[in-house]
Chain A
Amino acid sequence: MTEHGQGLVFLITLIIFAAVMGLVLKRKITERFAILWMGVSLLLLLGSSLGFRYLFKIAQVFGIPYPPSALFLLVIFGLTLLIIELYAWVSKLNERSRALAQELALLRDALDREIASRSESQPANTL
């Protein structure tokens, strides 16, 4: 890749890193994901600034004739892991919101019954 191209990649990863930092500062990403994404963007930054000379070696080791393909392979693998992590998180949230919905229904039921039993046992004006 030419220096021109490398500069572009570096710029893009810098923007990604800045965006993540911005979201973290504004507390738009929770700590859990903040660490994850800061790690990812740091890795991208490092990779894009010094990784290209190693890319050929990595490609050679794994027997990939076209070196940029090795990059795609790594990136796709990383993104897949991230997506799986995200699915795990969504499943957890789903579980939690189900428990909350059930708790809410039970509490509302208890409250309704309490109110009904009070209004039966007492004249309305004393409530």
Chain B
Amino acid sequence: MVVVDDGSTDQTRRVVEGRARVVSLPCNLGIGGAVQTGLQIALREGYDLAVQVDGDGQHPPQEVAKLLQASRESGCDLVVGSRFRQARGYKSTPARRLGIGFFSFILSCICRTQVTDPTSGFRVMNRRAIQLLASRYSEDFPEVEALVQVHRAGLRMMEVPVEMAERRAGKSSIGTVKSILYMLKVPLAIFMSLLRERGNGLVH
């Protein structure tokens, strides 16, 4: 297990060290840069699968097994844990659900498959998806864009129902202003990536 410490000032490294491998970034890169660092480790050290789990307790570790099983059985390159495919568990605030619903609609149209939880950061990637995303991963608000990337590269993805919990500690990095930015930036990024040549970013 690797904990990516994205320039934390709360002694993450000291607390986690000894229990898990900690990779500390010299400065804060944001979620995109941190997740990409984890994927680069997976790529360089030749792991077949990478599991991405948020650090705030929203993704119960016991649910990882479901994702892994789905990944092995389906052979999909990216498996996303969806909190909306089952009744139980934490479903985020109404405002956020509205935003998620908006992206879920757009993504479902683009990917021609039902995407219910495009902002979920609870994911399993196989070697091909690791290769793709380790080489290019959006800096801020990367989850939705990563789905578009995966789709455009011709990789397969699927969703698995998982139960999520409320964040146990810390605050969301996305406040009111950032939410507005999110709603502007992500659609723009999706639109731009659709304008780019198809197959761009495909790893051969």
Contact = CB atoms under 8 A, between A and B. Distances in A.
Contacts of A74: none
Interface size of B as a range? 10 to 19
A98 B27 CA distance: 9
Given A98-B33, A98-B139, A104 B26 contact: yes
Interface in A83-127: 94, 98, 101-102, 104-106, 108-109
Interface stretch (B34-42, B106-114, B144-152, B160-168): B34-42
Nearest to A91: B139
A102 B40 contact: yes
A116 to B, nearest CB: 11
Contact of A101 (B21, B33, B44): B33
Contacts of A109: 21, 23-24, 41
Interface of A is mostly: helix
B27 A102 contact: no
B29 to A, nearest CB: 6
A102 B37 contact: yes
B25 interface: yes
A102 B24 contact: no
Given A101-B26, A101-B27, A106 B44 contact: yes
24 contacts: A98-B29, A98-B33, A98-B139, A101-B25, A101-B26, A101-B27, A101-B29, A102-B25, A102-B29, A102-B33, A102-B40, A104-B25, A104-B26, A105-B4, A105-B24, A105-B25, A105-B37, A106-B23, A106-B37, A106-B44, A108-B24, A109-B21, A109-B23, A109-B24
Interface of A: 94, 98, 101-102, 104-106, 108-109
Q: Across chains A and B, which 6 residue pairs bring their CB atoms closest together, nearest first? A: A109-B23, A105-B25, A102-B37, A105-B23, A98-B33, A101-B26
Interface of B: 4, 21, 23-27, 29, 33, 36-37, 40-41, 44, 139
